Amino acid sequence: MTDRKADPAVDRRDVAWWSDKAVSVLVFLGGISAILFIIGIFVFITREGFGFGEHFKAGEIFGSTRWAPTSDSNPTYGILALVAGTASVTGLAMLIAVPFSLGAAIYIAEFAKGRTREVLKVLVEMLAAIPSVVWGFIGLTIMNPLIIQTFDVPIGLCVLNSGLILGLMAAPIMTTIAEDALKAVPDSYREAAEALGATRWQVTRRVVLPAARQGLLAAVLLGVGRGFGETMAVLMASGHSINLPTSPFDSVRALTATIAAELGETAVGSPHYQALFMLGILLFAVTFLINLAADLIVRGIRKG
Amino acid sequence: MADQSPAAVEFADFSLWYGTFQAIYGVDLAVKEGKITSMIGPSGCGKSTLLRSVNRINERLGYVRTEGHVRVLGHDVYAAENSLVQVRKQVGMVFQRPNVLPLSIRDNILFGHRLHDGGKDAEDALLESALRQVLLWDDVKDRLNRRAQGLSLEQQQKLCIARLLPVKPRILLMDEPCSALDPKGTEAVEELIWELRGAYTILLVTHNMAQARRASEECVFMLMGKLIEHTATDQMFVSPRCPETADYIEGRYG
Ligand SMILES: Nc1ncnc2c1ncn2[C@@H]1O[C@H](COP(=O)(O)OP(=O)(O)OP(=O)(O)O)[C@@H](O)[C@H]1O
Ligand SMILES: [Mg+2]
């Protein structure tokens, strides 16, 4: 601060000046707190989980399908079956969600007009807002008997059931993001192609889809991340039994569902507790990487 | 008119509405085959609209209604039985801003050809001849597989003209093709358009009176959605028939 005397005529520290300062400080705090929270969560999970180091046997954890942390005689922490459970459910979900959501996005962005388009967009957004426990409920009470009847299997809580449910859950978000990606393609491309005699579908296939492919990939990745991290619906619809699935009708257990179901019953600081946090670290890392990849891809679009 | 060369594009009592707003009022116009016809008139008088009616690209908007007829080489463009794809194959369009597709130079040029199921064998020859016709071949022959968006605006606009040629259109519509270019680019593209006359019927919208005078053989003057005058360019600029035309040419409108 210099010691010059403030000239009241040009001293602009009035109400507007102070409120501007106050708001910038508040906004800064808001912005920084999001980052602090993420770092805080990461530190917390890591600290709770890293105590597991002394029980950590990589060969057992990544090589065994036996997840038996509560066994008195021989506690084992093999996560292979859980990883397989999550992967099979997410994989099936994507198999269902990707064609559906890309199809829906293409229809809404390129073919539907006026009111149809607006109604569809609202409907898709409403679907995205359905809580996951409701989806789980549908899996439990509607899909389960349906699968038992249709395929004549003893139990309908399985990879097929939870994959379908998860696919339907992920599809609306993927549709919305994919539609945004298609919208971002400049209209002058469509006009140019149409003037050259391209039909609607030719315009879509030869110009719009290639131009939007990064955004579409980002949409798919975010859907994968969503599927990966989903807990409640999978817990309810997958059967929650530890299994290396060999058919869509096998019950499985997912990583997320394991944490949700078991964490409440463990003693804080016990090896079981720490093992669950280790699963948390794994989930955190994978979803972080998926989101990062999606983000980098989207950034790539903006630049080029 | 004494001139007996047949009309390539013919408007007959053609009107057009954007929603409830009438943009074109009963235009009758016969565009002579093989000539360059420029369209001049103040901003908003409907030059672009009339041009965009020839290949019906206006109708992408969804709220456009028309009355009357537009005939391209004798076929009524608005008749249900005539295929729009065929019309657009015969009528190429160049836009105000170069709108190359986000593809390679090669794929841009061959885009139309591939749409219309052209053979694979002919591709290389078509590519070279199209690029040679727009005087771009020497500039780009070593980077045909690079993205077209890396080219300069002038080169992009030439590319936009070149990509029309492989499907052998008869008519080229150009909506202020030089307005996004610098003076050097403008000169180059104008020269190119002049070179293409005879081989194609060219309808050229321009804001620039000097350009109309330099680069066209016939001239159409429009005002508020109506066609006011259509004569040889030399005559239009020396002794216009209508007082409105004279006013515009002498710069009394915007
Ligand atoms: N998409 C549209 N929706 C509604 N009205 C439009 C649309 N496009 C043009 N118009 C109107 O139609 C009239 C003619 O427009 P047009 O673009 O054909 O004029 P122009 O002669 O090409 O003008 P400019 O020299 O500025 O390009 C204008 O009054 C314009 O406001
Ligand atoms: Mg215009």
Taking CB atoms within 8 Å and a gap of at least 24, the contacts of A270-273 are A271/A52, A271/A55, A271/A69, A271/A75, A271/A77, A272/A69, A272/A70, A272/A75, A273/A48
Q: Are residues A94 and A32 located together in one domain of the fold? A: no
Which pLDDT tens digit goes with each residue over B54-68? Answer: 999 998 888 999 999
Pocket probe for ligand 1: among B15, B39, B48, the residue whose CB has the most ligand atoms within 8 Å is B48
Cross-chain Cβ contact B111/A114 below 8 Å = no
Backbone angles phi, psi at A295, to 5 degrees: -65, -45
Nearest chain B residue to A189, by CA = B101
Amino acid B37: pLDDT: 93
Please check whether residue A104 lies inside any domain of the structure: yes
| CA A275 – CA A61 distance, rounded (Å) | 10
The mean per-residue pLDDT over the stretch A120-136 comes to: 92
> In Å, how far is A197's CA from the nearest CA of chain B?
5
Domain boundary among A55, A72, A94: A55
Residues A170 and A83 in one domain: yes
Among protein residues, the one with the nearest Cα to ligand 1's atom 31 is B44
How far CA A58 is from CA of A52, A53, A85, A273, A286, in Å, comes to: 12, 10, 19, 18, 18
CA-nearest residue, atom 29 of ligand 1:
B44
Two tokens, residue B95? 């836009």
Looking at the structure, tell me whether residues A190 and A215 fall in a common domain: yes
Structural domain tally of chain A?
A: 2
- Indicate whether A2 belongs to any domain: no
B53 CA distance to ligand 2 centroid (A)? 12
Short-list A271, A263, A268, CA closest to A51: A271
Percentage of residues in chain A having pLDDT higher than 90: 55
Same domain? A197 vs A126: yes
Q: B118: Cβ–Cβ under 8 A, 6 or more apart, which residues? A: B110, B126, B166, B167
Are A13 and A68 found together in one domain?
no
Minimum distance, in Å, between the CA of residue A214 and any CA atom of chain B: 13
A291 in the same domain as A142? yes
Residues near ion ligand 2 (Cβ under 5 Å)? B 48
Verify that A16 and A76 share a domain, yes or no: no
> What is the reported pLDDT for A45?
87
| Same domain membership, residue A19 and residue A88 | no
Residue A139 lies in a domain: yes
Chain B residue at shortest CA distance from A199: B85
Q: What type of residue is B121?
A: D
The upper half-sphere exposure of residue A195, i.e. CA atoms within 13 Å in the direction of its Cβ, equals 29
pTM higher than the cut 0.90: no
Three-state DSSP state, A5: coil
- Let me know if residue A182 belongs to a domain: yes
CA of A206 to the centre of ligand 1 (A): 30
A227, part of any domain: yes
Half-sphere exposure of A135 (CA within 13 A, CB side): 25
pLDDT of residue A59: 79
Tell me, yes or no, whether A299 lies in a domain: yes
**CA B250, CA B42: separation in Å to the nearest integer?**
12
Q: Which residues contact B69 (CB under 8 A, 6 or more apart)?
A: B10, B11, B12, B13, B14, B76, B77, B78
pLDDT exceeds 70 at position B176: yes
Please name the member of B86, B101, B160 whose beta carbon is closest to the beta carbon of A189: B101
Tell me the C-alpha distance between B3 and B45, whole Å: 28
pLDDT category at A268 given cuts 50, 70, 90 is: confident
pLDDT digits 0-9 by tens, B180-235: 888 888 888 888 899 888 899 999 998 888 888 888 899 999 999 999 999 998 88
The answer to whether A294 and A271 are in contact (CB under 8 A) is no
In chain A, residues with a C-beta closer than 8 Å to the C-beta of B95 are 188, 191-192, 195
pLDDT, position B252? 66
Residue A3 domain flag: no
pLDDT tens, A5-31?
A: 666 677 777 888 899 999 999 999 999
- A110 with A76, same domain? yes
Contact A211 B55 (CB under 8 A): no
Please give the pLDDT value at position A303.
60
The Å distance, Cα B10 to ligand 2 centre, comes to: 20
What confidence score (pLDDT) does residue B200 get?
92
C-alpha span between A213 and A97 (Å, rounded): 17
pLDDT digits (tens, 9 = 90+) for A279-304: 998 898 888 898 888 888 877 766 65
| A278 burial level (CB within 10 Å; 0-12, 13-18, 19+) | buried
Return the pLDDT at B2: 44
- Domain harbouring A252, CATH code: 1.10.3720.10
Same domain (yes/no): A248, A295: yes
Q: Is the pLDDT of residue A2 over 60?
A: no
Mean of the per-residue pLDDT values of chain A? 89
Task: Note down the domain range covering A173.
Answer: 62-303
Find residue B9's DSSP bridge partners.
B31, B72
Residues A63 and B96: their CA atoms lie apart, in Å, by 64
Query: What residues of A are in contact with residue B174 (Cβ under 8 Å)?
Result: none
B23 lines ligand 1 (CB under 6 A): yes
Written as one letter, the residue type at A239 is G
Task: Give Cα separations from B61 to A113, B12, B17, B73 (angstroms).
Answer: 10, 23, 12, 26
Measured distance CA(B78)–CA(B66) in Å, rounded: 9
Query: Is the CB of B21 inside a 6 Å radius of any atom of ligand 1?
Result: yes
Query: Which of A20, A36, A55 is the last residue in one of the domains?
Result: A55
How far apart CA A148 and CA A271 sit, in angstroms, is 38
A200 in the same domain as A185: yes
Chain B residues with beta carbon closer than 8 angstroms to that of A181 = none
Residues A212 and A238 reside in one and the same domain: yes
Q: In terms of CA atoms, which chain B residue is nearest residue A194?
A: B57
Distance CA A115, CA A109 (A): 13
Does the CA dihedral A186-B160-B42-B63 come out positive or negative?
A: negative
Among partner residues B89, B95, B116, which is closest to A192 by beta-carbon distance?
Answer: B95
Closest-CA distance of chain B to residue A195, Å: 6
> What's the CA-to-centroid distance between B44 and ligand 1, angstroms?
5
Domains of chain B in sequence order? 7-249 (3.40.50.300)
Interface of A with B (CB under 8 A): 113-114, 186, 188-199, 202, 206-207, 210-211
Q: What is the CA radius of gyration of chain B?
A: 18
pLDDT digits (tens, 9 = 90+) for B77-136: 888 777 888 889 999 999 999 999 999 999 999 999 998 877 888 888 999 999 998 888
pLDDT at residue B84 in the model? 86
